[in-house]
Amino acid sequence: MTEDTFTAFHHGRRIASGAPEAVLAAAWAALTRDSVEPRVFSDRTGAAQPLAPPSGATPAKAGRGRPRLGVSAREVTLLPRHWDWLSAQPGGASAALRRLVEAAARAPESPEAARRRAADAACAVLSALAGDAPGAEAAVRALYAGDPATFSRETAAWPDDVRDYLAHLAAPAFSAAAAPSA
């Protein structure tokens, strides 16, 4: 799996794109010049990223759990027969779940899953940067309908950097949607 890249926006303009360290450094530099916090997005998922302090800052005190492994506890709801099966696996339920998740993560992504992931990423960024812009709702509908012409038409009047970034994120959603089904 390749490393995620990021893109930062400040006042509707793209200020950086690329490796996380470089993008976060540019975002911090913009924040020191202006009180408006830049928006940083994952190019793969479209998720807004928190603006973490620059390296060398004092980290927050770690809580309970296994922080060195990056383990976080969450609730999982399963049927009793699923818990029975997991408990019977080598290493117990947690180890079995981790192995299942790792195997699924290594499996090739289906074209429909790739299309949906790209559409979800573009939609997340669209909502954050242009959710109240004219044509935003129609652009989202076009995105999920696999209609690049309508998407382009609805976003044409938006700021160049926002429009171009959204077109970049949405492109795999449209190319995968156009691919013939087997």
The answer to whether 168 and 151 are in contact (CB under 8 A) is no
Per-residue pLDDT of the chain (182 residues; tens, 9 = 90+): 457 899 999 999 999 999 998 999 999 989 888 888 899 999 999 999 888 666 654 444 555 555 556 667 778 888 999 989 988 999 888 889 989 999 988 999 899 999 999 999 999 999 999 999 999 999 999 999 999 999 999 999 999 999 999 999 999 999 844 544 44
Cβ partners under 8 Å of residue 135, min gap 6: 153, 154, 155, 157, 158
Tokens 């089904």 sit on residue: 181
Cα–Cα distance, 22 to 41 (Å, whole number): 13
Cα–Cα distance, 151 to 167 (Å, whole number): 8
Q: What is the pTM of this model?
A: 0.72
Cα–Cα distance, 171 to 177 (Å, whole number): 10
Instruction: Tell me the CA distances in angstroms from 77 to 74, 93, 99, 102, 148, one per residue in order.
Output: 10, 12, 18, 19, 39
